[in-house]
Amino acid sequence: MEALEQIKTRVEAAVAGAKLEIIPNDSPSGHRSLLIDAAHAMSVATFLRDDSQLRMDYCSCVTGVDWLDAVLKEKVKVRKLVEGVEKEVEETIEKQRPGVLEAVYHLYSMQLKQGPVILRLRTGNRTDQVHLPSLTPVWRGCEFQEREIYDLYGVIFDGHPDLRRILMWDEFKDHPMRRDYVEPDDYEYEPTPHDDVLSKAKHHYPSPAAAK
Amino acid sequence: MMDRATIAERPQNFEILPKRSANGEVHGDLLEVAMGPHHPSTHGVFRMDVVLDGERVMKLKPVFGYLHRNHEKIGETTTYLGTMPYTDRLDYFCSLTNNWGYALAIEKLAGLQVPERAEYIRVITAELTRLQNHASLVGFLMQDMGALGTPLMYAFREREKILDLFEALTGARMMCNYMRFGGCRVDLPPGWLEETNKVVADFPRFIDEFEALLSGNEILMARTQGIGALSQELAINASITGPMLRATGVNYDIRKVDHYGIYDRFKFRVPLGEHGDVFDRYMMRVLEMRESVTILEQALRDLPEGPIIDPKAKLRGFRPKAGEAYGRIEAPKGELGFYVISDGSPNPYRYKVRPPSLINLTVLEDMCLGQTIADAVVILGSVDIVLGEVDR
């Protein structure tokens, strides 16, 4: 299969205005991925599926990932004057990474037996801009997995034919796979008399001072 | 006890006459039926909300989640190795292939090598798993069609022999927890190879017996041929994998495409169907069992001596470098994938299972529309689902 850089240039030539970025992967697996912008996701996906050299006709796996706000530390070499002599010094820069939700698509080609091409889509943030375009119209195999991401991560896929909760029940409020999800402490109808359950249950009741 | 005449004379208190539309066409009311979660044909806790016009299926919506325990969240809170026994519980018929899929993903993530002997043992256990899965699936399929007991018991008789082998090797019949990152947990016990050779040598006789009883059976043909047909285009677009995909004629077997493990060393054929109906799916399983037997014969013949685990592989305090990997294998039910993202800590940042059973259900409605409700049962049986994997 052609190199990811070449795929990137060909996609950018074919889809006007598409912004792609190659995400590196340090592990020995060496699978790098393509970050695509949500506005052009559909046309990029259609191009990858229909292009005669790629024919990514099979979407194997769709994964939701939750990236929390984080401070990333990066080591950079800087030239600096140290005691009057210019030297190369390592410095740590702290970068603020805003939290995002991500959908990762693993694409293979059944016709040409090649792959994977990995696509990533990122939402604006984790709270109010959680919309992503659904790729189910391109690959129907995404249907249940995108529903699952909606259910467990709260990403809303625009254009999905049937976006409902799939694993949790319909009345469930939260998205349990998010990294900052807190389990409710009242799973059970009555708190069972264990110390930790009772102490958790305490803040559900008014304090004795307030009751008087 | 009332005699026949009295029953016939009983007054009918309820209206059962069919309604008529303006042009005189007779039609009944549409009936909504919740098949499951306790319907025996759903093989577990799975529900199909079916809308029926008489016996015809007009609409079908699968409902999942009754067995959901958020396997992936558990995977994020335990160590890498701690997830290995949990993978047994995904598709509890095929714990050894689940182990392999997970081990493969982590080996890609951490760059581990697997010794020769361990690769051979993996192939042997995976193909034995495929044999017992396909045999019992065909038995269950017959059970769904009304052949109560006999074919299933024949299949279970053979499965029992294979489960005994698993028990001798791993200590457990179904929850094997056998593979480790970079190899396997224990070496073969004494006498295991001879016993396995015997089981493998006997197996074709069972397939012959099974086929003599079933493949040419008129009732089986009438119930399965032309039922639940699936087109190639739809199957590929809907990410269908495994025997269900190959029944439509698409030549895609991950053992041949990825050559994971040492599958490029064995000579075997990939059976392909033509019509993509239930009968083809049944035949796929029977033919794949025959191919698995030939793989087993070669692997048992060539099994080398040597270590069974990479000496550099770390079991405790295992922390792969930050990065991600996707490992996939051809499980008996289809493509089983594991996607793991590491952030350098002792447990994965993200751990995702790509379950073949769930994704193969994408086209369940397409296959069942217009068929009778009794055929919907057979179509679901031919998909081969295990709810431990569907709901995770």
Give me the residue spans of the domains in chain A: 4-211
Q: Which residue has the tokens 């895609």?
A: B252
Chain B residues in contact with A58 (beta carbon < 8 A):
236, 239
Does residue B46 fall inside a structural domain?
A: no
Q: Is B290 on the interface with A (CB under 8 A)?
A: no
**Residue B20 clears pLDDT 60, i.e. is over it:** no
Token readout for B200 is 């493998």
Q: Is B254 on the interface with A (CB under 8 A)?
A: no
Query: Residue A190's pLDDT is what?
Result: 52
Does residue B14 fall inside a structural domain?
A: no
Does residue B27 fall inside a structural domain?
A: no
Mutation for A interface: B104, B236, B255, B391, most A CBs within 10 A: B236
Interface touch A60/B337, C-beta < 8 Å: yes
Mutation for B interface: A23, A167, A179, most B CBs within 10 A: A167
Q: Is B374 on the interface with A (CB under 8 A)?
A: no
Query: Residue A210's pLDDT is what?
Result: 60
CA distance A81 to chain B (A): 34
| pTM score, whole prediction | 0.84
pLDDT in tens, A38-62: 888 898 999 988 888 888 889 999 9
**Residue B272 clears pLDDT 60, i.e. is over it:** yes
Q: By residue range, what is the domain housing residue B370?
A: 71-391
The more confident residue out of B13 and B360 is B360
Mean pLDDT throughout B164-174?
91
Interface touch A177/B362, C-beta < 8 Å: no
Nearest chain B Cα to A169, which residue? B65
Alpha carbon separation from A8 to A12, A34, A48 (Å, rounded): 6, 8, 10
Q: What is the mean pLDDT of chain A?
A: 83
Token readout for A116 is 């994977």
Tell which phi-psi region holds residue B370, choosing left (phi > 0), alpha (psi between -120 and 50) or beta: left
Alpha carbon separation from A94 to A70, A74, A75, A90, B16 (Å, rounded): 10, 6, 9, 13, 76
Query: Residue B287's pLDDT is what?
Result: 92
Out of A41-50, A101-110, B10-19, B260-269, pick the least confident. Answer: B10-19
Helix or strand or coil: residue A72? strand
Interface touch B73/A141, C-beta < 8 Å: no
Nearest chain B Cα to A115, which residue? B258
The count of structural domains within chain B is: 1
Q: Is B174 on the interface with A (CB under 8 A)?
A: no
Indicate the Cα dihedral angle A147, A148, A150, A156, nearest 10°: -40
Out of A110-114, B102-106, B315-319, pick the least confident. Answer: B315-319
pLDDT in tens, A53-101: 888 889 999 999 998 888 877 777 777 777 777 777 777 878 888 888 9
Give me the residue from B64, B324, B362 closest to A25, CB to CB: B324
Query: Residue B122's pLDDT is what?
Result: 92
Tell me which fold the domain A4-211 belongs to: Beta Polymerase; domain 2 (3.30.460)
Q: Is A70 on the interface with B (CB under 8 A)?
A: no
Chain A residues in contact with B358 (beta carbon < 8 A):
144
Give me the residue from A60, A65, A110 closest to B350, CB to CB: A65
Q: Which residue has the tokens 């040597």?
A: B306
Q: Where residue B28 falls among pLDDT bands split at 50, 70, 90?
A: low
Out of A28-37, B36-45, B169-178, B297-306, pick the least confident. Answer: B36-45
Mutation for A interface: B104, B114, B339, B389, most A CBs within 10 A: B339
Q: Where residue B9 falls among pLDDT bands split at 50, 70, 90?
A: very low
Q: What is the Cα–Cα distance from B274 to B109, expressed in whole angstroms? A: 38
Give the A window 178-207 contacts with B, CB below 8 Å: none
Does residue B8 fall inside a structural domain?
A: no
User: Mind spelling out the 3-state secondary structure of chain B?
Assistant: CCCHHHHHHCCCCCCCCCEECCCCCEECCEEEEEECCCCHHHCCCCEEEEEEECCEEEEEEEECCCCCCCHHHHHHHCCCHHHHHHHHCCCCCCHHHHHHHHHHHHHHHHCCCCCHHHHHHHHHHHHHHHHHHHHHHHHHHHHHHCCCCHHHHHHHHHHHHHHHHHHHHHCCCCCCCCEECCEECCCCCCCHHHHHHHHHHHHHHHHHHHHHHHCCCHHHHHHHCCCCCCCHHHHHHCCCCCHHHHCCCCCCCHHHHCCCCCHHHCCCCCCCCCCCCHHHHHHHHHHHHHHHHHHHHHHHHHCCCCCCECCCCCCCCCCCCCEEEEEEEEECCEEEEEEEEECCCCCCCEEEEECHHHHHHHHHHHHHCCCEHHHHHHHHHHHCCCHHHHHC
The DSSP bridge pattern shows strands B350-354 and A33-36 to be: unpaired
Which CATH number does the domain housing residue B272 bear? 1.10.645.10
Q: Is B72 on the interface with A (CB under 8 A)?
A: yes
pLDDT in tens, B281-328: 999 999 999 999 999 999 999 889 888 888 777 777 888 888 899 999
**Residue B10 clears pLDDT 50, i.e. is over it:** no
**Residue B253 clears pLDDT 80, i.e. is over it:** yes
Alpha carbon separation from B87 to B70, B96, B178, B385 (Å, rounded): 12, 9, 11, 16
